[in-house]
Structure 1
Amino acid sequence: MTNAIKLPDYALFGERAIFPDVLHVEAIVDRAAQHGWRIASHRHPGLLQVLYVQQGEATLHLAHGSETLTPPVVIVLPPNAVHGFTFAAGTVGVVVSIPTTLLDDSALQVDRVQQRAATARITGLIAILQDRHADADGPRDPSLRALAAALIWECAEATPAAGNTADLFTRFEVALRNHATQGWSVGDYARSLGASASSLNRVVRARAQMSVMGAVMAYRLELACKRLAYTRQPITVIAYDLGFSDPTHFARAFRKGIGCTPRAYRKRFEG
């Protein structure tokens, strides 16, 4: 048995809590400056990120090595990609973090780090996203969803549709989105993907640092957090909608995964 180094998993770098917003937009300086302009290697199990370096100096650190970036440049980081950055002080740019729950099945096929030219269309979309994210008025949520979809497809290379040759973990993420609330077992997911339960568990552990069922529970709790924050649905209804056998089971799982009761979590967002 090898002694693998466990990399930290973050919702956003330095934050382990699930953020309930539609997506997140921030300037590079907002977080990098707090950490001495160095973001240590980590991964985001539930986020796709688009990082735009407008000016300054930056080095991208990946699992297989490091690469100096030449601004203006855009980096697309798929969920679970191991990455880190070293920035020169004062580097200017923007980071857009998009939850996988916002992505359609084809967008989830963005399964490798990509470096793109910072075209006028891409930088324009990022600027509009940044402005819309900061503005609470009007139809903010649907606007952010539409802009995020446009940004992903403008940045990402075309990739083949999911099939027998597609990455197993990527296809598992699609299945997870479709069946997480239906009580599927490891065997159900494995059969739907044409893999054995052991091989699927091995791939998910390697990519997400958790078991298949751990990933299913994490996804269900992410959905629960969003509903608790953004809807007035009764907690009982949320529990049953997300596939829990009863509200007590839901409350126990939520406390274990999030660290508080569903009711206490909702109170954080009550004005």
Structure 2
Amino acid sequence: MAGSQIPSYVLYGEPSGSAFPDCLHCERVSERSRLHNWTIQPHRHRGLHQFFWIAKGSVVVTSDTYRRALKAPALIMNAPMSVHGFEWEAESDGYVITVPTVSLDNNLPPHTGLLGRLDRSLFLQYSTERTAAVMALKLFEAIDDEYRGRQEGRVQALLCQVGLLALFVIRAAGRRQKSLSEPAHSGVAMGRRFVELVESNYRKHRPLSFYAFRLGVSVTHLGRICRGQFGISSQSILHDRLILEAKRNLAYTSASVADIASDLGFRDAAYFSKFFASQVGDTPSSFRKTF
């Protein structure tokens, strides 16, 4: 399939432009798969890692140019922008955890390059390793319990727990010489570094030349990487990040439009409102009221 024909979702089936719902997302495999008659068509995610625990049943996974069958207990880690689909055995179950790659990087030991080892999808079958399977299940269950609760420090706890899950997967893959993995996608690491830079600088309204210089590439090459990995331009990624933060502030705070504009680095509220309307098709005040 051509890149433009492969849908890119936040989770699966949402309309384009949907905001990520939380610091991470956790649900049972059966919740979404049953709605789609146990078949999840090939798709991909921009800037997100996904971790699956298959606790019951089996699945045939399509991952880029490969197909493989896994049966419970098993673990899957989908790398950002890998094209993947699932044909689940009816009534299969387990957990699926989706986390922004930037958040994952922030909760792994710094300056270790560990996140780079998750630039390719991984598939771990636990047919005979009962102890390892129990450990994996406990990690998924702990995240699910915290996710569905509302205790103090929930976000911090969730991000720490998913960091532990990522380390578990990295260690397990390192021990399993026969573990199946996909070749790393060309440009994935560069795309991830760009998104990380955007996360640190989007309020400063840096030009694309700033990001290209920091990455050691031309603006044109950066654009090619973004279109290849994300399906949109590098400028659109900058705009999307500003709009996402604006929506969050409008939806979840009582800050004035002027204060939100200032916080996001806009020179005045009128310019911010014009920018927001051009991207969203609605004014900030109207968006807040509708939400």
TM over 0.5: yes
Aligned match for 1:201, one of 219, 223, 228: 223
Kept in 1: contact 2:47–2:195 (CA 8 A)? no
Distance in 1 of aligned mates of 2:53 and 2:233: 33
Which structure 2 segments of 5+ residues have no match? 107-112, 127-131, 175-186
Aligned pair count reads: 263
Taking a change above 3 Å as real, the CA distance of residues 87 and 248 of structure 1, as seen in their structure-2 partners, is farther
The equivalent residue for 2:238 is 216
**Further displaced range: 188-197 or 11-20:** 11-20
The equivalent residue for 2:147 is 133
Per-residue CA deviations over 1:185-215 (Å, capped at 9, x if unaligned) read: 2221111111111111101101000111111
Distance in 1 of aligned mates of 2:101 and 2:285: 25
Kept in 2: contact 1:47–1:99 (CA 8 A)? yes
The amino acid of 1:45's aligned partner reads R
Taking a change above 3 Å as real, the CA distance of residues 245 and 41 of structure 1, as seen in their structure-2 partners, is farther
Per-residue CA deviations over 1:196-249 (Å, capped at 9, x if unaligned) read: 111111011010001111111112222333333443433322222223333233
Taking a change above 3 Å as real, the CA distance of residues 191 and 142 of structure 1, as seen in their structure-2 partners, is same
Shift in Å, 1:4: 4.8
CA RMSD of aligned residues (A): 2.7
Distance in 1 of aligned mates of 2:104 and 2:289: 28
Kept in 2: contact 1:20–1:226 (CA 8 A)? no
Which structure 1 segments of 5+ residues have no match? 160-164
The equivalent residue for 1:162 is none
Taking a change above 3 Å as real, the CA distance of residues 145 and 262 of structure 1, as seen in their structure-2 partners, is farther
Kept in 2: contact 1:107–1:152 (CA 8 A)? no
Distance in 2 of aligned mates of 1:86 and 1:212: 34
**Further displaced range: 82-91 or 256-265:** 256-265
Shift in Å, 1:266: 4.0
Distance in 2 of aligned mates of 1:149 and 1:135: 19
Q: What secondary structure sits across from 1:138 in the alignment? A: coil
The equivalent residue for 1:14 is 13
Taking a change above 3 Å as real, the CA distance of residues 140 and 187 of structure 1, as seen in their structure-2 partners, is same
Kept in 1: contact 2:71–2:125 (CA 8 A)? no
The equivalent residue for 1:172 is 194
Taking a change above 3 Å as real, the CA distance of residues 6 and 181 of structure 1, as seen in their structure-2 partners, is farther
Higher helix share: 2
Shift in Å, 1:65: 2.3
Please tell me whether residue 244 in structure 1 is matched to residue 266 in structure 2.
yes
Distance in 2 of aligned mates of 1:6 and 1:25: 27
Q: What secondary structure sits across from 2:105 in the alignment? A: coil
The equivalent residue for 2:80 is 79
The amino acid of 2:156's aligned partner reads P
Please tell me whether residue 146 in structure 1 is matched to residue 160 in structure 2.
yes
Taking a change above 3 Å as real, the CA distance of residues 13 and 259 of structure 1, as seen in their structure-2 partners, is farther
Taking a change above 3 Å as real, the CA distance of residues 94 and 166 of structure 1, as seen in their structure-2 partners, is closer
The amino acid of 2:158's aligned partner reads L
The amino acid of 1:124's aligned partner reads K
Taking a change above 3 Å as real, the CA distance of residues 155 and 3 of structure 1, as seen in their structure-2 partners, is closer
Distance in 2 of aligned mates of 1:268 and 1:24: 24
Distance in 1 of aligned mates of 2:71 and 2:189: 30
The amino acid of 1:246's aligned partner reads D
Taking a change above 3 Å as real, the CA distance of residues 42 and 198 of structure 1, as seen in their structure-2 partners, is same
Aligned match for 1:155, one of 142, 163, 169: 169
Kept in 1: contact 2:80–2:188 (CA 8 A)? no
Percent identity between matched residues is: 29
The equivalent residue for 2:24 is 23
Shift in Å, 1:88: 1.1
